[in-house]
Amino acid sequence: MSTDIEKFKAGSPMASTLRMDRMPHIWCPGCGIGSEVNSFAEAVKRSGVDPKKIVVVSGIGCTGRVAGYVNFDSIHTTHGRAIPVATGIKLANPELTVVVFSGEGDLAGIGGNHLIHAARRNMDLVVICNNNFTYGMTGGQVTPTTPGSAVASTTPYGNYEYPFSLPLLMDAAGATYIARWTSLHSRNVTQSIEEALLRKGFSFIEVISPCPTLYLRRNRLGDGVDQLQNYQDNSILKHGADTRETAIDYQGKIVVGKFVEKSKPTYLEASDKCCIKLVGDDYQLYGKTIPEREAEEKAEKERIAARRAAMQAEPEAQEETAAEPAKAPAPKAAAPRAAKTKFQSKVMPAKQALAGTKKAPAKKTAAPARKAAAKPVKKAAAKAPARKAAPKAKVLAGTKKTAPKISAKTKAVAKPAPKKTRNSSSQSR
């Protein structure tokens, strides 16, 4: 093993959230998955949620490998089945915070039935969907989100199917938190994941991300950095957008933002309510009464708040918080569809954003996925600290600009709906 990698392992700020004994990872240079994992790790840190109580579940695919690299309890399941496995975990131990991290083919293709039913039940899960418009792991076939006319290995003459818009699908199915970002918006991804970790109910976060090795190469769209430029040119920030207007055409506009945030009893809250009516106040699930569980939950929430406070007291964290965009108030469930103003997301230039990754990988992006898996890209992994540490400040500087706009706009249209459920205090913002 090269010394580069050892140095990376020792010095990485991700050392506590990644399984360093599993580095280097299999992902190609310029792939969007790594930066999502960074955002996730950062979100976990900021959230104050006890890392011991987090479980990460993935399906199969390049994104499905996330479960194997994060240093939490983690399950790498079968193709498409991450959500029902996560459902089992959550219902078997409601104290756990369960995160599903997987690809769009896994979640919306083979696992589509589970996805819509978990949303329908408002199952208390955080679902992070890496949408790269392709079946990466198997070599770039068409997926349920591949835009029309895009070339895939199984649509060699262009895709003629109609793709899903995942926010619309999730909205229709009943998800209570829906956000979409691109790989360019790593700060926003972090913020959305953080919000999702702290709320109750089914949260769906879609991240449009580049697969340079297959989707970009096959469609002659350049490398990861070029795609980030596309995201910058074409992203339209629209919190509270009507999810019917979130479809993505081939290299077309990408509506991003937090589209839905509303409150409704989760599956477990609804089940508790039914059981307490039936059995009475001494109803117990797994030997614990509801007041006992609530007391534990309250105590945990206090610990989370304390951890958050401690984190914000750290000098580095403070700096980050200062630069963080003002929190956008939640769009109200029914009202804010009226938001019509178009907000161009003015983030920093894409080339700058990927400065860290660009150097290492550019040449390798053409390598097929299989090859990359067999020969772990040591260089890319070694570069990772640079990717994370260096451009962060720039990202922040970029997102800062958009911040006032976001809040000004959303404030005008929407206020968070008051939670009506018994566990309303769980909503941290």
Ligand X SMILES: Cc1ncc(C[n+]2csc(CCOP(=O)(O)OP(=O)(O)O)c2C)c(N)n1
Binding site for ligand X (CB under 6 A): 60-63, 79, 102-106, 130, 132, 134-138, 143
CB of 266 to another protein, least distance (A): 13
Q: Which two tokens stand for residue 21?
A: 């004994």
The stretch among 88-96, 378-386, 388-396, 416-424 that binds another protein (CB under 8 A) is 88-96
CB of 64 to ligand SF4, least distance (A): 10
Q: What is the DSSP letter of 202?
A: -
Which CB atom, from 288 or from 415, has the smaller least distance to another protein? 288
CB contact set of 151 (below 8 Å; sequence gap of 6+): 157, 158, 159, 218, 219
Pairing relationship of beta strands 343-344 and 235-237 according to DSSP bridges: antiparallel
The stretch among 74-82, 129-137, 295-303, 406-414 that binds Mg ion (CB under 5 A) is 129-137
Task: Count helices and strands (H / E) in the chain.
Answer: 17, 11
The count of residues interacting with another protein (CB under 8 A) is 45
For tokens 């262009």, name the residue. 158
Which CB atom, from 207 or from 330, has the smaller least distance to ligand SF4? 207
Contact call for residue 132 and Mg ion (CB under 5 A): yes
Q: Which of ligand X, another protein, Mg ion, none lies near 106, with the C-beta cut-off 5 to 8 A by kind?
A: ligand X
Q: Which two tokens stand for residue 341?
A: 């103003």
For tokens 């003002």, name the residue. 326
Q: Is 294 exposed, middle or buried (0-12, 13-18, 19+ CB in 10 A)?
A: middle
Residue list 137-196, contact with ligand SF4 (CB under 6 A): none
The stretch among 1-9, 90-98, 253-261, 340-348 that binds another protein (CB under 8 A) is 90-98
Which CB atom, from 99 or from 128, has the smaller least distance to another protein? 99
Contact call for residue 425 and another protein (CB under 8 A): no
Residue type at 49 in one-letter notation:
V
Cα dihedral 22, 380, 188, 16 sign: positive
Contact call for residue 169 and another protein (CB under 8 A): no
Residue 268: which of 120, 127, 123 has the closest Cα? Answer: 123
The stretch among 81-89, 185-193, 336-344, 383-391 that binds another protein (CB under 8 A) is 81-89
CB contact set of 409 (below 8 Å; sequence gap of 6+): 239, 339, 341, 343
**φ, ψ for residue 412, nearest 5 deg:** -65, -35
Contact call for residue 70 and ligand SF4 (CB under 6 A): no
Residue list 187-226, contact with another protein (CB under 8 A): none
Q: Could you say which of 43, 55, 62, 247 contacts ligand SF4 (CB under 6 A)?
A: 62
Q: Which of ligand X, Mg ion, another protein, none lies near 392, with the C-beta cut-off 5 to 8 A by kind?
A: none
Q: Could you say which of 3, 157, 220, 287 contacts another protein (CB under 8 A)?
A: 287
Which CB atom, from 79 or from 383, has the smaller least distance to ligand X? 79
CB of 138 to ligand X, least distance (A): 4
CB contact set of 203 (below 8 Å; sequence gap of 6+): 125, 126, 127, 175, 176, 177, 178, 195, 196
CB of 171 to Mg ion, least distance (A): 21
CA distance 368 to 214: 7
Contact call for residue 214 and ligand SF4 (CB under 6 A): yes
Q: Could you say which of 122, 188, 213, 246 contacts ligand SF4 (CB under 6 A)?
A: 213
**End-to-end Cα, the chain, rounded Å:** 45
E strand residue ranges, 328-415:
343-344
Contact call for residue 81 and another protein (CB under 8 A): yes
CB of 247 to another protein, least distance (A): 26
Task: List, as own/partner pairs, every contact residues 58-61 make where C-beta atoms lie below 8 angstroms and the sequence separation is at least 24, other chains included.
Answer: 58/82, 58/100, 58/101, 58/102, 58/106, 59/102, 59/103, 59/106, 59/107, 59/110, 59/111, 60/106, 60/137, 61/102, 61/103, 61/105, 61/106, 61/135, 61/136, 61/137
Q: What does the binding site for another protein look like in residue numbers (CB under 8 A)?
A: 19, 21-22, 52-53, 55, 57, 67-68, 71-78, 81, 83-93, 95-96, 113-114, 117, 267, 271, 274-275, 278-279, 283-287
Q: What does the binding site for ligand SF4 look like in residue numbers (CB under 6 A)?
A: 27-28, 31, 33, 62, 132, 136, 211-214, 369, 372
